[in-house]
Amino acid sequence: MSFDFNESLRQSAEEALQISKGQVNPGKVHKFLVPENLDVKEIRSKLNVSRSEFCEKYGFKLRTLEKWEQKITMPDSATRAYLTVISKNPEIVYQALHNKNI
């Protein structure tokens, strides 16, 4: 049995229409909170690392990190989620990214 993208798309559209009309229950929705505002400088400072060390460990560009810390720009939601995980368990993230045994 092969995957038919067009058929899958058609079924998804039909299901979305039925949900919008209240004919079908949309099922269980999983939500999680990604912080709207994150103090990136505080996260890095708590780890007691320089900007360049933080970037090297976790894969950020130095100029991007500087802009976040200076509040010139803010990370997008996926990056805020990633930074939240770094703030909670930095060593696990480091080990995962650098193929270390966890």
Closest CA to 90 of 63, 68, 59: 59
Q: What pLDDT sits at residue 94?
A: 92
- Per residue in 12-40, pLDDT (tens digit) is 777 777 777 888 777 776 666 788 889 99
Residue 8 host element (H or E): helix 5-20
Domain boundaries, given as residue ranges, for the chain: 40-97
- State the Cα–Cα distance between residues 60 and 41, nearest whole angstrom: 13
Q: Is the pTM of this model over 0.85?
A: no
Question: Which residue type, as a one-letter code, is found at position 94?
Answer: Y
CATH homologous superfamily for the domain 40-97: lambda repressor-like DNA-binding domains (1.10.260.40)
